């Protein structure tokens, strides 16, 4: 989760779990044809690629599948967060039951400014709404306002082999920056918290970027492991059993990968993901950047010396990134952008891209200012979202404590 895979058969897991990542990647690379309402989803004409068999335990046509996703409240929300996650959420909320989380627990796994965390949290929530999240259709809440996230994380940590976490690429990358000896335990167990965010709400789908595929595979395998260790007949002997899921404690979540905008790259390096943690602000477009600043960043962004513009040339990562951004913010199809821009120079294209970004972001910025000016309105939305999340999560936690053999509190 900006700081959110189908293995159809039940698996008993071993320390060689990531040997299956190759088959997972092959699966994720192929779109699956779906029947029903899901196949009608689209984002700026591109659609979503779902790598799953859409089997469900909820047979009623009135029951929507559930989608859960979140973004960290660290730094400013940037174009990569928006195009890679939040913009796609807007397209999902009409078709799915959606829960969108400001994942503040994740934000403290690396050094941070305690004076800014609260403001960054409300700013992120306001931007969710300004970008089009409709609270009549979706629940928006703060992760730390629902204690069950951390409770479930601990239960999952107790069932997750250390070897699985040691294989996680993001831990290796981020701990290298801090120094392995100085990296926090929270950074190491971050994937278990992300898994708890997903499994707590019995999520059907999780929108993820290409760089999050390893995390969603881990979430799936932890769910399968817990189902094997504590579900089925073992759980039934303790007095519980979810008949509609065959005794499983968790649904196995499926990844939902947008075909466009899944990974927006840095403006200073087309091979690196646009990131809040990058030291240079020049590397990203923040959603609240002024018009002049957007023009300046696009003017100074890294390009190349090739003639013309083109998608999908491995030798021109910056060109592919900038064209992809233009494609999404302009709402045009890839073929239309190729035809429009193929003979352009960078001097012609950069102002075009800057204007498209400004036109796209200006309504978001205006709506953000309206929302942030009404703190009571925002607090009410976040409180109601947390109430809904607690209601859903309580069922999962009750089942988990029962299946794991905990002595349950008697209330008088």
Going across the sheet that includes 48-50, the strands are: 48-50, 254-258, 205-207, 66-71, 97-102, 138-142
Report the CATH number of the 279-371 domain: 1.10.240.10
Give the integer Cα–Cα distance in Å for 299 and 356: 14
**Chain region(s) in the chain for CATH 1.10.240.10:** 279-371
174 counts as catalytic: yes
For residue 313, what pLDDT is reported? 94
pLDDT of residue 382: 98
Share of the chain above pLDDT 90, in %: 62
Is 276 an annotated catalytic residue?
Answer: yes
Q: In whole angstroms, what separates CA 233 from the centre of its chain?
A: 34
β-bridge pairing 138-142 and 97-102: parallel
pLDDT of residue 185: 86
Q: Is the pLDDT of residue 408 over 50?
A: yes
The whole-angstrom separation of Cα 302 and Cα 317 is 10
Catalytic entry in 65, 174, 332, 350: 174
Q: Which residue has the tokens 């960043």?
A: 297
For residue 30, which phi and psi values (nearest 5 degrees)? Answer: -115, 125
pTM for the whole thing?
Answer: 0.78
Q: Residues 87, 276, 332, 334: which is the catalytic one?
A: 276
Tokens coding 28? 């994720």
pLDDT of 55 over the 60 cut: no
**Cβ 361 vs Cβ 294: under 8 Å:** yes
Q: What is the pLDDT of residues 237-290, one digit of tens each?
A: 888 877 667 889 999 999 987 665 557 999 999 999 898 878 899 999 999 999
Looking at residue 265, what DSSP letter applies?
A: B
Mean pLDDT of 283-301: 96
Q: Is position 342 annotated as part of the catalytic site?
A: no
| Per-residue confidence (pLDDT) for residue 259, from 0 to 100 | 61
Q: Rg of the chain over CA atoms, in angstroms?
A: 22
DSSP string covering 19-73: GGHHHHHHHHTS-----SGGGG--STT--EEE-S----S---TTSPPEEEEEE--
- Please tell me whether residue 108 adopts helix, strand or coil conformation: coil
The one catalytic residue among 273, 291, 302, 333: 273
Q: How confident is the model at residue 181 (pLDDT cuts 50, 70, 90)?
A: confident
Instruction: Please tell me the distance from the alpha carbon of residue 94 to that of residue 298, in angstroms, as a whole number.
Output: 34
CATH 3.40.50.620 location in the chain: 64-259+374-402
CATH topology for the 64-259+374-402 domain = Rossmann fold (3.40.50)
Closest to 77 (Cα-Cα) out of 150, 136, 2, 134: 2
């Amino acid at each position: 989760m900006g700081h959110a895979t189908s293995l159809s058969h039940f698996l008993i897991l071993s320390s060689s779990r990531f040997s299956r990542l190759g088959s997972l990647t092959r699966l994720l690379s192929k779109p699956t044809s779906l029947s029903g309402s899901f196949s009608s989803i689209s984002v700026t004409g591109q659609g979503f690629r779902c790598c799953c068999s859409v089997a469900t335990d909820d047979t009623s046509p009135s029951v929507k599948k559930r989608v859960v996703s979140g973004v960290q409240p660290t730094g400013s929300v940037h174009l990569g967060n928006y195009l890679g996650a939040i913009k796609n959420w807007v397209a999902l909320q009409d078709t799915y039951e959606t829960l969108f989380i400001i994942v503040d627990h994740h934000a403290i796994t690396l050094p941070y400014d305690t004076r800014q965390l609260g403001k960054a949290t409300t700013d992120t929530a306001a931007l969710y709404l300004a970008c089009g999240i409709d609270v009549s259709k979706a629940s928006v809440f703060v992760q730390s306002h629902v204690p069950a996230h951390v409770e479930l994380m601990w239960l999952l940590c107790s069932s997750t082999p250390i070897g699985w976490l040691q294989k996680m690429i993001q831990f290796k990358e981020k701990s290298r920056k801090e120094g392995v000896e100085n990296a926090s335990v929270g950074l190491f167990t971050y994937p278990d918290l992300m898994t708890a965010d997903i499994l707590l709400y019995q999520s059907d789908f999780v929108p993820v970027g290409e760089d999050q595929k390893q995390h969603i595979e881990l979430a799936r395998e932890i769910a399968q492991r817990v189902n094997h260790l504590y579900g089925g007949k073992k759980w039934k002997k303790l007095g519980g059993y979810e008949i509609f899921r065959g005794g499983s404690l968790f649904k196995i979540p499926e990844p939902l990968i947008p075909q466009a905008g899944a990974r927006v790259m840095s403006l200073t390096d087309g091979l690196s993901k646009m990131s809040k943690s990058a030291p240079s602000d020049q590397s990203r477009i923040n959603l609240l950047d002024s018009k002049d600043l957007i023009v300046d960043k696009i003017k100074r962004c890294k390009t190349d010396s090739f003639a013309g513009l083109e998608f999908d040339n491995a030798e021109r990562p910056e060109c592919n990134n900038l064209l992809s951004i233009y494609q999404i913010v302009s709402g045009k199809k890839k073929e239309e952008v190729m035809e429009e821009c193929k003979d352009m120079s960078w001097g012609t294209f950069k102002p075009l891209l800057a204007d498209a970004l400004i036109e796209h972001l200006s309504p978001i910025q205006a709506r953000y200012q309206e929302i942030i000016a009404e703190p009571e309105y925002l607090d009410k939305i976040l409180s109601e979202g947390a109430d809904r999340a607690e209601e859903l999560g309580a069922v999962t936690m009750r089942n988990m404590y029962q299946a794991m053999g905990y002595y349950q509190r008697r209330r008088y």
